[in-house]
Amino acid sequence: MSKLVAEIKDILSVHLVTNVLLSVSYYLLKTNRPICEYLFDDCFLELKEWEWLTFLGCIIVIKCRKHAAFLDYVNTACMFAKFLNGVMMFRASPIYGLVYFLVVLLHTIVLPRPVYQGPEYITYFRGPHLQEELERDKRITWIISFYAAWSPQCVTFAPIFSEISSQYHLDNLKFGKIDVSRYPDVGKAFNIDSSSWSKQLPTVIVFENGKETNRKPFISPKGTVLRYKFSKDAVIADFDLNNIYQRCKQNPLKGYKDKTDKDAAKEKKEN
């Protein structure tokens, strides 16, 4: 029930409503009197404009076919629709086109897409500490995000990973992150290219019993990186998180005491 309420709130958010309005603004302005009589020479769409809209529909279907989440689908469709709106506005009048693109830019700045800002349950690793932690207690399933601070895709995925960690964390199901741009040797050890032209950032790997069992994006036997769209629904489905969560919940750790980085550092100092 709470998930449904959250989805309804997202759908009715100011960002999404205004985004949809911007996406259909040209049609609304061109076909509704008296606005169309004031702004344009006529109040109907030309044949060429209908052809463009039909082509837009085909593009949206092709580009959005892999989106599992409704909000991702709508936002991607709006992105293409706003571009076409701008073209048609500019065709009607360069001034209209300029004003429209300024409004879209203002909307992006003032009303950005809402992102998760709640609690996270993530361990941030430094260098070899990741491998040590994976081997320390193999009863723990780890889901690790290998990222680079400079990567836009990693920045976009960060709140999604935080939200997933908050929803699925257990004593024996943990989430971690490591910046492979700072620790390229770690990236290399896990077969992740951390260079500026890398197609593997972010990479999410599931470790069960200390061994890798799943990763996205996947690397083919020929070494080809298969592109992957990181969304919350896609990650949950493709990593089978619901089943992993249930298995871990049914087999809780006994007599286990979690160690933070500070605890480990203190223990090492005492020894």
* 103-135 residue pLDDT tens: 999 999 998 887 777 899 999 999 888 999 999
pLDDT tens by residue, 66-87? 555 677 788 888 999 999 999 9
Burial bucket for residue 80 (CB in 10 Å: 0-12, 13-18, 19+): middle
- CB-based contacts of 111: which residues, under 8 Å, 6+ apart? 14, 15, 18
Q: Does the pLDDT of residue 143 top 60, yes or no?
A: yes
CATH architecture classification, 122-253:
3-Layer(aba) Sandwich (3.40)
At 265 the pLDDT is 44
Domain ranges of the chain: 12-110, 122-253
At 218 the pLDDT is 92
Q: Which pTM does this prediction carry?
A: 0.68
